[in-house]
């Protein structure tokens, strides 16, 4: 019972955060709200028994993502816009309609999902019991998530490391050097060499 | 009533997902679009992890005396997804910086006007 | 600046502890929550904290961008190289059992080595991205050292 109450509270706080991010116009406040959102979701992961995932989400979402967004805010600052988002000129009826239809279809789709926390759900029956029983015997590593990530599905992790290496190279290619002009003048020609 | 207790988790997650989706498609500022994309990603992670949760289960680290564990497979998938998500966000922000240097603004309407008037 | 003093003293005290915690998370990923990704991110967070308090130039002297590029490729090389080593020792690609004297010992060694590779690459790439973002706003100098 107390588990359900903690779940509902955290999820409601997350929903309030998300709606506040939509309505806030100051970009600095949006980035700070996003950092709080990420940290709250890490707490939610802990309540749902996912320790590794909570660790990674707290470190990466509330740490690295926030720092990079703040750096982008500092680099895209112009004195006339004053770090605020301009009000959109179109009426939001079409996006609201699309969002409502998509949400209604998704909720209709979750009608048949087994209840939250059901130990007899089909997701718990196929491969997971094999990993839980055999991982200590096969690999000698008590942490099942590390054993699956590094040994049973090691090839996927190789692909993931390559993806993050490629992202580092791409960021270096895009903004690796220093600027050649003063940062606050408006430049209207096409992209020039760094 | 049983349906509501078993499913409220998924419905709240879908509300958060739609909030992120609305931010992406209706706001013009590029940084806000990237924040909305991240909200969408985090809500998908919460959906996956709550599918793998088992009531009264423990953290999937094998210990003596514990018999019921949570499903470790979604944890593995989401670990990879989080790291790939931060790579995508960093790349998106680098592109926003280059757009700002090329056009002088990060509002989508003004970029569109500048492109149209060429 | 006077109000920077508290930050400098506290961060000089905290940064070695953050490094130690990152090493703990890296090598105890087998027995508790943790592993390569988390350790790499925490390690880079320590150096980002140093850069925020003492300036990006001093942080670049701690670990130069050239070394960072080398480290990023080195981590991927360790990972893929473990697979090639198992190929040369007679097994299939990334079959860790042939690395040690028994199946379990080989698996343990293999998991340790590849988590190390993952941690090194993640740390280097996070720092590369942070230095790239932080340096973009500076106008180009006349006498710069690297490239």
CA-to-CA distance for A17 and B39, rounded, in angstroms? 10
Tokens of B91: 């790349």
Q: Which residues pair with B29 in a beta bridge?
A: B107
Query: Which 3 state secondary structure label does DSSP give A158?
Result: helix
Q: Which domain holds residue A3?
A: 1-84
Structural domain contains residue A32: yes
* A107 close contact with B: CB closer than 8 A: yes
User: Is B45 within 8 Å of A57 when comparing Cβ atoms?
Assistant: yes
CB B41 within 8 A of CB B89: no
Tokens of C67: 């070394």
Tell me the average confidence (pLDDT) per consecutive run of 10 residues in chain A, 194 residues long. 86 92 90 94 91 92 92 82 66 88 91 79 80 85 89 90 93 82 49 43
Give the residue ranges of DSSP H helices in A24-151. Answer: 27-47, 51-59, 66-75, 93-109, 128-139, 144-147
Query: At A161, phi and psi to the nearest 5?
Result: -65, -40
CA-to-CA distance for C97 and C101, rounded, in angstroms? 8
Tokens 């003293």 correspond to C9
Kindly tell me if the per-residue pLDDT of C144 is higher than 70. no
Cβ within 8 Å of C, A 136-155: 138-143, 145-147, 149-151, 154-155
Give the pLDDT mean for B28-57. Answer: 90
- The ipTM, to two decimals, is 0.90
Do A17 and A73 lie in a common domain? yes
Q: What is the pLDDT of residue C115?
A: 92
Mean pLDDT of chain C: 88
Q: Which of A127-141, A176-190, C26-40, C49-63 has the lowest mean pLDDT?
A: A176-190
Task: Choose the closest CB to B72 out of A48, A76, A144.
Answer: A144
User: Is C33 within 8 Å of B59 when comparing Cβ atoms?
Assistant: yes
Q: What is the pLDDT of residue C70?
A: 94
Does residue B56 or residue A71 have the better pLDDT?
A: A71
User: C-alpha angle with apex A160: A157 to A161, nearest 5 degrees?
Assistant: 90
Q: What residue segments make up the domains of chain C, in order of their start?
A: 2-135
Which whole-number Å values give the CA distances from B39 to A90, B32, B59, B63, in the listed order?
23, 11, 25, 35
Q: Measured between beta carbons, which residues in chain A are less than 8 angstroms from residue C147? A: 177
User: C-alpha angle with apex A42: A41 to A44, nearest 5 degrees?
Assistant: 60
Q: Does domain B2-116 have CATH number 1.10.10.10?
A: no
Do A1 and A72 lie in a common domain? yes
Mean pLDDT of chain B: 88
Q: What is the pLDDT of residue A114?
A: 82
Does residue A83 or residue C136 have the better pLDDT?
A: C136
CB C87 within 8 A of CB C93: yes
Q: What is the pLDDT of residue C135?
A: 86
Tokens of A10: 């955290």
Residue of A nearest to C71 (CA): A165
Q: Which of A81-85, B79-83, C105-109, C126-130 has the lowest mean pLDDT?
A: A81-85
Structural domain contains residue A146: yes
Closest alpha carbon to A4 in A37, A35, A48, A39? A48
Give the pLDDT mean for B94-99. Answer: 92
- Tallying the residues shown for chain C, one arrives at 147
Based on the structure, what is the number of domains in chain A? 2
Cβ within 8 Å of A, B 14-43: 14-23, 25-29, 31-32, 34-36, 38-39, 42
The secondary structure of residue C40, as a DSSP letter, is H
CA-to-CA distance for A44 and A54, rounded, in angstroms? 8
Q: Which residues pair with A94 in a beta bridge?
A: none
């Amino acid at each position: 019972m107390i588990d359900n109450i903690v779940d509902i509270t955290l999820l409601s706080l997350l929903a309030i955060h998300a709606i506040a991010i939509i309505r806030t116009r100051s970009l600095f406040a949006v980035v700070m709200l996003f950092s709080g959102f990420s940290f709250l979701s890490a707490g939610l992961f802990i309540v749902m028994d996912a320790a590794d995932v909570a660790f990674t989400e707290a470190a990466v979402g509330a740490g690295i993502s926030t720092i990079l967004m703040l750096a982008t805010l500092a680099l895209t600052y112009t004195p006339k816009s004053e770090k605020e988002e301009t009000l959109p000129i179109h009426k939001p009826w079409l996006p609201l309609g699309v969002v409502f239809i998509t949400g209604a279809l998704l909720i209709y789709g979750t009608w048949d999902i087994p209840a939250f926390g059901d130990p007899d759900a089909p997701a718990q029956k196929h491969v997971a019991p094999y990993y839980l029983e055999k991982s200590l015997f096969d690999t000698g590593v008590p942490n099942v998530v590390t054993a699956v990530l590094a040994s049973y599905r090691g090839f996927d992790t190789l692909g993931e490391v390559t993806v993050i290496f490629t992202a580092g190279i791409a960021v270096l290619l895009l903004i690796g050097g220093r600027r050649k002009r003063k940062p606050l003048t408006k430049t209207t020609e096409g992209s020039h060499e760094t | 009533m049983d349906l509501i207790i078993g499913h409220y988790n998924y419905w709240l997650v879908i509300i958060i997902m739609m909030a992120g989706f609305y931010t992406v498609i209706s706001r013009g500022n590029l940084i806000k679009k990237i924040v909305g994309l991240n909200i969408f990603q985090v809500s998908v992670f919460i959906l996956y992890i709550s599918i793998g949760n088992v009531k009264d289960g423990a953290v999937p680290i094998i210990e003596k005396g514990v018999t019921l564990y949570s499903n470790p497979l979604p944890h593995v998938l989401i670990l990879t997804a989080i790291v790939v998500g931060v790579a995508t966000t960093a790349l998106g922000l680098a592109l926003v910086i280059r757009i700002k240097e090329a056009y002088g603004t990060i509002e989508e309407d003004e970029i569109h006007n500048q492109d149209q008037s060429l | 600046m006077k109000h920077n003093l508290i930050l400098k003293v506290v961060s000089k005290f905290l940064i070695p502890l953050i490094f130690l915690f990152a090493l703990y998370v890296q090598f105890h990923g087998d027995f508790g929550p943790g592993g390569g990704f988390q350790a790499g991110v925490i390690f880079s967070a320590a150096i980002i904290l140093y850069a925020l308090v003492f300036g990006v130039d001093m942080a670049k002297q701690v670990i130069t961008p050239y070394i960072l590029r080398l480290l990023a490729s080195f981590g991927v090389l360790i990972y893929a190289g473990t697979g090639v080593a198992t190929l040369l020792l007679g097994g299939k690609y990334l079959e860790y059992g042939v690395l040690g004297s028994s199946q379990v010992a080989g698996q343990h060694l293999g998991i340790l080595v590849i988590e190390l590779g993952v941690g090194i690459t993640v740390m280097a790439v996070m720092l590369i991205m942070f230095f790239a973002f932080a340096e973009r706003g500076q106008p180009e100098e006349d006498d710069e050292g690297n490239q």
